[in-house]
Amino acid sequence: MAHTRVGTAVQRRITGLTAAGAALGMTAVLAGCGAGGGSGDVTLKMVAADYGDSSANSSQKYWDKLAGEFEKKNPGIKVDVDVYSWSDVDAKVADMVKKGQAPDIAQIGAYAGYAAQGKLYSADDLLSIPVQADFLPSLTEAGEVRRTQYGMPFASSTRLLFYNKELFEKAGITGTPQSWGELAQDAELLKEQGVKYPFALPLGREEAPAETLMWLLSGGDGYTDNVGTYTLDSDQNIDTFTWLKDDLVGKGLTGPTAPGDLNRQEAFNAFSRGEVGMLNGHPTLMKQAAKKGVKYGMVPLPGVNGNAKATMGVADWMMGFKQNGHREQIGKFLDFVYSEKNVLDFSERYDILPVTSTASDAMADDPAYKHLREFLEELPTSQLYPVGKTSWAQVSASIKQDIGKAVAPHGNPASILKELQNKAASAEAAE
């Protein structure tokens, strides 16, 4: 669901005792007290993703402030948060877990693999009943592995097609695209006017799985069938990427950067500079574009012959690791994180959709959030990644690495999708 993405890690460090010494001391104390926690000071280590588009609005500032407020109310519990770009954060947590240095809390893109390995507390273990019951039902279900919730949704979004009104006007485009054919025609007109990116197609590693799913849905299929089996190389999906390769990329309608090398934030930045005619975007882009004075419009993503099969929804995930035995302290902090005030604060800061019913209702009723209503309306029926499959993290990584090749000049969409399907099938068989 999903996101900054400053290129380097932004880190918050707590001074005083060395991290190694504190961690060792805490582990020793708590090992004798069981997983529920124990007496003495505890420092929770958290790794989170960055939703800002620059160092000025990095999520580090949000987490530093929130941690400080929590620590004042909970003497004896410190929270040390390190924020990384979306390009790096999942790999960072995976490396920490592999080294036996799992954080207490991670807010990243996938949870199921860790849940299947028995490394996570369930939501039941951590959250108070009112907090757990407040999650939107579709997101609760998406957070389950074998009917137990391990993934706690943290932020969500849906996607719409953004377009630059001034560039459309200069190109003589009076309507908005309702089908792929119309989208390609509009992109041609924008290209004739010298628009740098008539349609920005970010299939780079940052968020290739999202852009890919949006197009698969608009072509009538998706990542899985109705029973959850991967179908990446279905005829419809091959047709979708063949059209992208031949009718958009091949005709020079996606700009000077190869889609496989274009990351989502780079595309958003270009849109905010007035260099992009159209692109698929989530709510965060509204604030970024408005700040730069870009006049934009938003419409549902067009499908191959009209409306897309479904809108893509994304949720990012919070999880608590068992390794350090800080169940009680993790639970206290997460109950604080998921208070209505804090959920709304984060959602407002980044124009992200809230994951709780109370915050969603408050947002829907508040005229200050009317710009998000169209996104909010799409969320209950949107289609999410198959995040409950333990294979999804591996499949997602393969898509990030290879999907851009499908639309490259000498790429073969059928071959690339078949290759991805074979990897997905192997990963699923190993679940």
DSSP assignments along 382-425, one per residue: -B---TTSTTHHHHHHHHHHHGGGGGSTT--HHHHHHHHHHHHH
Query: Are residues 336 and 306 both part of a single domain?
Result: no
329 and 197 belong to one structural domain: no
**What's 368's DSSP letter?**
G
Does any domain span residue 85? yes
Output the six-digit token pair for 326: 């800080």
Q: How large is the average pLDDT for residues 297-325?
A: 90
Using only C-alpha atoms, the chain has a radius of gyration, in whole angstroms, of 22
Q: 259 and 149 in one domain?
A: no
Based on the fold, state whether residues 86 and 191 are members of the same structural domain: no
- Domain-embedded: residue 3: no
**Same domain, yes or no: 188 and 297:** yes
pLDDT at residue 40 in the model:
58
H helices within 109-225, ranges in order? Answer: 112-116, 123-126, 129-133, 137-142, 165-170, 180-192, 208-218
Contact 303, 220 (CB under 8 A): yes
**DSSP one-letter code for 353:** B
Mean of pLDDT over the chain: 88
Q: Rounded to whole angstroms, what are the CA distances from 37 to 26, 27, 70, 378?
A: 10, 10, 17, 41
Averaged over 1-26, what is the pLDDT? Answer: 33
State what percent of residues in the chain have pLDDT above 70. 91
Domain holding 149, by residue range, is: 10-157+314-381
Per the domain annotation, does 182 fall within a domain?
yes
What total number of domains does the chain contain?
2
Least confident range of 100-114, 130-144, 263-277, 298-312 = 298-312
Q: 292 and 423 in one domain? A: yes
378 or 356, higher pLDDT:
356
Which residue reads 């025609």 in tokens? 185
Strand partners of residue 90: none
324 and 306 assigned to the same domain = no
Instruction: Identify whether the C-beta of residue 151 lies closer than 8 Å to the C-beta of residue 115.
Output: yes
CATH number at residue 86: 3.40.190.10
Q: Are strands 144-145 and 42-49 parallel, antiparallel or unpaired?
A: unpaired
Q: What gap in Å lies between CA 136 and CA 213, rounded to an integer?
A: 22
Ramachandran angles phi, psi of 110, nearest 5°: -150, 145
Q: What are 388-418's pLDDT values in tens digits? A: 888 888 899 999 999 999 999 999 999 999 9
Comparing 126-135, 270-279, 309-318, 402-411, the range with the smallest average pLDDT is: 309-318
Residues 313-329, mean pLDDT to the nearest whole number: 95
Q: Are residues 302 and 324 in the same domain?
A: no
Would residue 5 count as lying in a domain? no
Instruction: Note whether 246 and 268 are same-domain residues.
Output: yes
The helix/strand/coil state of 110 is: coil
Q: How confident is the model at residue 96 (pLDDT cuts 50, 70, 90)?
A: very high
Assess whether 153 and 170 both reside in one domain.
no
CA separation for the pair 173, 171 (Å, rounded): 6
* pTM above threshold 0.75: no
Please give the pLDDT value at position 379: 81
What percent of the chain is modeled with pLDDT above 90? 71
Q: Are residues 146 and 174 in the same domain?
A: no
Q: Is 407 inside any structural domain?
A: yes
Asked if 111 contacts 390 with a C-beta cutoff of 8 angstroms, the reply is: no
Find the mean pLDDT for residues 117-142. 94
207 and 323 part of one domain: no
